[in-house]
Amino acid sequence: MIESEMENKLLNKGFTAKNIAHMRKIISRDGTQKETYSSLLIDLKKRFFLRDV
């Protein structure tokens, strides 16, 4: 999925433009390209599930 498609999908799922801009900032500062929208979403999911317990 290309970046713009993922951003539109995130907007449709309730993320704000500010949320997406912050995620884009994290992705761009990673020189190894290890961080992606998918990897960030997985990390968020883990954090929310751990707090919910």
pLDDT for res 20: 96
| DSSP-derived secondary structure letter, 14 | T
d(CA 7, CA 1): 10
pLDDT for res 33: 76
pLDDT for res 51: 60
pTM greater than 0.85? no
DSSP calls for 18-33: HHHHHHHHHHHH-TT-
- Residue 26 tokens, joined: 């994290």
| pLDDT over 90 (residue 50) | no
pLDDT tens digit string along 5-45? 999 999 999 999 999 999 999 999 877 778 899 999 999 98
